[in-house]
Amino acid sequence: MKNFQDEKQRDLLINKSDGTNKFLTTDQGVRINDDNNSLKAGERGPSLLEDFILREKITHFDHERIPERIVHARGSGAHGFFEVTNPIPELTKAGFLQEAGLKTPVFARFSTVAGSRGSTDLARDVRGFAVKFYTQEGIYDLVGNNIPVFFIQDASKFPDLIHAVKPEPHNEMPQAASAHDTFWDFISLMPESMHMIMWAMSDRAIPRSYRMMEGFGVHTFRLINEAGNSTFVKFHWKPKLGTHAVAWDEAQKISGKNPDFHREDLWEAIEMGNFPEWELGVQIIPEEDEHKYEFDLLDPTKLVPEELIPVTIVGRMVLNKNPDNFFAETEQIAFHPGHVVPGIDFSNDPLLQGRLFSYTDTQLSRLGSPNFHEIPINRSVAPVHNNQRDGHMRQEINKGRVSYHPNSLGGGCPYQAKIAEGGFASFNERVDAHKVRERSESFADHFGQAKLFFNSQTDVEKSHIVKALRFELGKVDTAAIRVRMLGLLSQIDMQLAERVSMGIGTQVPPILETPINHGVSPENEMGNQEPKTVESSVENSDALSMLKNPTNTPTIASRKVAIICSDGVSEASVKNMKDALLKEDAKGLVIAPHLGAVLTDEDGAIAADFSFLTASSVLFDAVYIPHGLGLTALAENDDVMEFLNDAYKHCKVIGANGEATAVLSAAPFASKISNDDAGLVLSGEIGTETFIQDFINAMSEHRFWEREKNLYK
Ligand code: HDE
């Protein structure tokens, strides 16, 4: 097995171009002498049709957009590698998982689901987490999400789900938002979505960064070993920086201040050398345990609690290179859960089965040709030889007269590979059944794991879910939809339903108002069966809570601190903090009343990175007010107060030392400050090492959500 240590080897295989020190040419390679003027009959006369340079340029421009993805249109991606740390040859024969240290190039794309390509990164939404592995045995795509379950159990409901969540068809509103009638109308009639709704209303749906999200393969897949034996598997990506979110109010403000927030964050982290990293883990479920659990492994609305089956880490992914061209790479990349290599196979999850059809089909209209695999970013590094021919934009020049198999004129080539030669053979699963349009009885529990998820959250996380539901349902005009939703929520937790009900002025109905059609046709005897609640055998799972998540390790790497400055600032206070942050791979940026230089107490100058006009506290992780400011002026500056107020409200760390502590007394939240708020790091002394260390330690806890208790009584 060859080791793909770096991207350069892949670059050689694909046609990258760079215009540096090159002549400007037409698409036909003819050098252009004047790119500024069209060909005219006289300098003030009409343009001439014969101007092939103008026609070519404008024609290309007229056609430079392609349809955006039906879902997951908004996304950002990067190159990197996957490295095996703990090979699992006993479970899978997949070559890229065989040897410790083996590296495989990857491209990962993160996305929102509902919004258009130009929509905000900070919508409340599921995030796509798709990874293309360029393995020596062909392309393997792990096309997952940042939430381990899904809204629906059967592929046939996917178009309905997406029609319901997308902007309403009559007026194309609202963009990138689920808070509207059609989405909740559908959900209120689909009890199977309740587990996913709990996740989507939690802070998982408003991540701080793509680099701080978990990823999940969602469906149960199969690993196949050399002997042809199968093991069920669930895939997990665990972020090195921990799993963190922003506040909902913050998310909405970021959407206005910087809709590219996640895109920029990913890009900048890679440019700065803070390479995003995840561990890849697997939950292994032996074939013989298929029916051992109270949930069905084939039901994508269920997860396998880590308390039942722990996650075994097999490798790590590092993203270390930004794309050279967004369109050519991030936009044209085509993922497909059906792109598997020998050693990985599918389960009969009916959602996965539908996906296996959908992804090639969609590329035909999105990328316009069955030759989309020849686009550089989609090309396999394993050689491709077959009898597929022609079609729009064919790149390959196939030689010879033979394009069929079997053949004798081509000596039987290209020839089939035996299994021992790496030929893919589907898992030899025995299937003996009637053809039916039915859903398995074992899929009928819609509330058990929704309860498990809710019960596993901390109080803060529970109240965020309540607030999210109040927001979303508060935007629903149709009263009957709100009532149906409260009925469904009451099946998960009565207190949850009542708390939501208080915020939306609608009573929890005494009986479940949702007519349950269990996804089967009315003629079928199983139609209209009641959903059942199967209590989860695990009562509480820390892995489901972001705040209790056992994999969160304290770090401030790649975090951004706003350092509020004005003339007279203590130069040492700023410098010491900046240096200390840099040592931790974090960054301090100076915000001042105006751009240009801020004069220091040492008669020096510090350059402002932003003014209060161009920055906002929602774009930073913490705020530091150094000693020695023109205090009166700052305390009277509304922009400074708004900046601090947002930082406080969004439960961020605020540090102030020396005279600067007085600025906080002027802040609107001053009367609400609690003495035991560890997120406020204050010191009368100036820039001591202890103060700086306390500030850094506090930042590594991300947020001080307990503060909300004082803010919202
Ligand atoms: Fe997708 N999904 N999906 N999906 N999906 C697409 O493929 C589809 C589902 C996911 O960054 C589309 O190339 C169906 C689950 C990601 O390019 C499309 C069903 C999960 C991405 C499609 C599902 C996903 C897509 C749109 C139900 C999590 C973005 C453009 C049967 C495991 C990949 C495209 C990227 C994209 C269909 C359900 C993840 C239309 C029919 C469940 C991360 O083919």
For 334-374, how does the pLDDT look when each residue is reduced to its tens digit (9 = 90+)?
999 999 999 999 999 999 999 999 999 999 999 999 999 99
Ligand 1 atom with minimal separation from the 359 CA:
44
Residue with CA at minimum distance from ligand 1 atom 42: 150
75 within ligand 1 shell (Cβ under 6 A): yes
Dist. CA 121–CA 117, nearest whole Å: 10
Nearest CA-CA partner of 592 in 551, 552, 562 = 562
pLDDT of residue 3: 46
* 182 CA to centre of ligand 1 in angstroms: 21
* 646 CA to centre of ligand 1 in angstroms: 36
Ligand 1 atom with minimal separation from the 154 CA:
31
pLDDT of residue 9: 59
Out of 15, 60, 145, 428, which one is annotated catalytic? 145
Dist. CA 219–CA 202, nearest whole Å: 21
Dist. CA 471–CA 181, nearest whole Å: 12
Ligand 1 atom with minimal separation from the 361 CA:
44
pLDDT of residue 117: 98
What pTM was estimated for this model as a whole?
Answer: 0.96
Find the helix or strand (DSSP H, E) in which 640 lies. helix 638-649
Residue with CA at minimum distance from ligand 1 atom 38: 355
110 within ligand 1 shell (Cβ under 6 A): no
128 within ligand 1 shell (Cβ under 6 A): yes
Domains for the chain: give ranges and CATH numbers: 40-378 (2.40.180.10), 447-520+531-542 (1.20.1370.20), 560-711 (3.40.50.880)
Dist. CA 580–CA 534, nearest whole Å: 52
Dist. CA 499–CA 318, nearest whole Å: 42
pLDDT of residue 2: 45
Ligand 1 atom with minimal separation from the 155 CA:
31
232 within ligand 1 shell (Cβ under 6 A): no
Is residue 517 annotated as part of the catalytic site, yes or no?
A: no
* 678 CA to centre of ligand 1 in angstroms: 42
3-state DSSP call for residue 37?
Answer: coil
Is residue 627 annotated as part of the catalytic site, yes or no?
A: no
Ligand 1 atom with minimal separation from the 130 CA:
43
Instruction: Give the full edge-to-edge strand order of the sheet including 560-564.
Output: 610-611, 587-592, 560-564, 622-625, 653-657, 680-683
Choose one of 335, 339, 352 to mutate for the ligand 1 pocket test, by most ligand atoms within 8 angstroms of C-beta.
335
Regions of the chain with pLDDT less than 50: 1-5, 518-529
pLDDT of residue 712: 67
339 within ligand 1 shell (Cβ under 6 A): no
Q: 445 has which bridge partners?
A: 532
Out of 3, 15, 21, 72, which one is annotated catalytic? 72
Name the residue with tokens 């020695």.
628
Residue with CA at minimum distance from ligand 1 atom 8: 355
Dist. CA 318–CA 103, nearest whole Å: 10
Strands 138-145 and 127-135: antiparallel
Q: 346 has which bridge partners?
A: 221
* 501 CA to centre of ligand 1 in angstroms: 34
The greatest distance separating any two alpha carbons of the chain, rounded to the nearest whole angstrom, comes to 91
